[in-house]
Structure 1
Amino acid sequence: MTIAIPAPPRGLARLRWALADAWVITGRDLAHWARQPAQFVIGLLFPVMVVLIFAYMFGGGMVIPGGGDYREFLMPGMYAMTMVFGIEATFTAVSADAARGVTDRFRSLPMAPSAVVTGRGVADMLNSAAGLAVMIACGLAVGWRWHEGPGAALAAVGLLLLLRFALLWAGIYLGLVLRNAEAVMALQILVWPVGFLSNTFASPATMPGWLGAIAEWNPMSATVSATRELFGNPGWGGDTWAAQHAQLMALVWPSLLLVIFIPLSVRRYQRLSS
């Protein structure tokens, strides 16, 4: 007796198949958060606590060049930092699934090769959007406002989510590469210097030349400067090319990361040992 194996779908049918599989994985990740709400809530409240510390404990001693309200200066940087630190949750979850064999079980199923990483990406973006909404509400509560109209404000929010989306794929790739707890912990520690080595709290002009150059060209710095401009909030300014073209760089850096890490993530997933 011969058993006929159906041919894999093609064209639009293949795309619908991949999207349906990705949504199933997204639902699985969302269900995990629903069953463990404490972890989700803590992830949302931690950046709020950091905002309160900087706004009310350190804010009185901070002077913004050219004047301006410190809390309005602070909040765009905190929004971007929340997006950057979200990479920890991504690569930790991906690495845990790979180490426990969950990813290998998914690979044994008749599903689209991109569905697991795409589903994780959608779930984490929903998480990040919720976190950004909480942060914006916190900013409004402490006195932050935007001054350039709703269109510019939405563009700023779009740049923040674009940065998170790009870093999300970097996190997926790193999570597939680092499959032990020690390596993941070391990477978590390295995320903090990357976040703080930017123009969020200090002007790159006040740093040693080589360190200021790194901070100036940090993708996070581009997004922070661009969102400050779009929100109409005070910033450090600067006469370097990166400072003068912050909005352009806030698009170029995430686009470059996406071009690099999306194919790397899918290829790495496909090559995982079973």
Structure 2
Amino acid sequence: MTLIAPRPSSLLSESLVFTGQHFNHWRRDPMVPVQAMIFPTFLLITYYLLVGKSVLRITGTDSLYGLVPTCAIAGAFSGALAVGLTLPFERDTGLLSRLWALPVNRASVLTGRLIAEAARTLASTALITAVGIGLGLRFKGGPLELLLFLLVPVMVVLVFAMAVIAVAARAKDGTVLIWLGLPAITAVFASSGSPPVESLPSWMWPLLRFQPMEPIVGSMRVLAQGGLPLGPLLHSLVWIVGLGAIVGPLAVRSYRAAAESGGVRG
């Protein structure tokens, strides 16, 4: 009798299993969906009602074209931080070590986490964009511009999620993430999507225009207005790839060290 060995699962199929586990966890504990969807949606509505007319009067452009990208990326960051808060607990209880010991591709656990982050960000960006359209945003781009508009926050959050993993996997608790999240979200709101750069003191202009969120939010603004901003998109891609090349290996090393610790902290 010949025994047929089971075919090994692919990295993608194994990663999708862990992605589904994250979705199930978020359904039972909705803190992440609230942080990623409800919070930025509320922020968008509140900010638009408070400053929308003022921005229109100063710039002559509806502030929704900048606020929707800003709130979409801020929501993506907020959701990633909420997910990162669970990493120290998963490490200390030995959950990461048990997942590490499973007979699957070890990259699948981390990959599944990142796929879940990407899917959540795509859904939250679509929701925030729909709310923006309800408030009066008129998306003037075609299918290509819409696709790029939805994918830009996804690419950004993948890099930010890796930074969160790199920090949270080695942290004693999740409070250290404040020092990562605060400057990141501040950079989002300090871009051209919130107050117009020209309305701020001139000495701040070079700082605001050099930081990575400026071309990212700016490219989404132009996409919503119907343009195809190849320059800002390329600039954004350079930032995303460059930062990803730095934080990606750090995330892998931190996650591996946390998983191999066995849940024991000295």
TM norm structure 2: 0.82
Aligned CA-pair RMSD: 2.9
Deviations 1:217-267 (A, max 9, x none): 222211111111122179xxxxxxxx9932211211111222222222222
Match of 1:267 among 228, 253, 257: 253
Shift of 1:185: 4.2
Counterpart residue number, 2:52: 59
Give the % identical residues.
24
Q: Is 1:111 the counterpart of 2:104 in the alignment? A: yes
Query: Aligned equivalents of 2:205 and 2:79: distance in 1?
Result: 24
Query: Aligned equivalents of 1:244 and 1:206: distance in 2?
Result: 26
Counterpart residue number, 2:74: 81
What SS is found at the alignment partner of 1:271? helix
Deviations 1:115-134 (A, max 9, x none): 22111111122211121121
Q: Is the 8 A contact 1:85 1:195 kept in 2?
A: no
Change (3 A) 1:267 1:26: same
Query: Aligned equivalents of 2:13 and 2:133: distance in 1?
Result: 38
Q: Is the 8 A contact 1:72 1:233 kept in 2?
A: no
What SS is found at the alignment partner of 2:193? coil
Query: Aligned equivalents of 2:199 and 2:221: distance in 1?
Result: 19
Match of 1:155 among 103, 125, 148: 148
Counterpart residue number, 1:173: 166
Q: Is the 8 A contact 2:149 2:220 kept in 1?
A: yes
Query: Aligned equivalents of 2:16 and 2:51: distance in 1?
Result: 43
Deviations 1:136-176 (A, max 9, x none): 11011101011132222222222222112222222222221
Structure 2 unaligned residues grouped into runs of 5+: 1-5
Match of 1:183 among 176, 179, 185: 176
TM norm structure 1: 0.80
Change (3 A) 1:87 1:219: farther
Query: Aligned equivalents of 1:31 and 1:144: distance in 2?
Result: 33
Change (3 A) 1:15 1:203: farther
What SS is found at the alignment partner of 1:245? helix
User: Residues 24-39 of structure 1: matches in 2 within 5 Å?
Assistant: 24-37=17-30
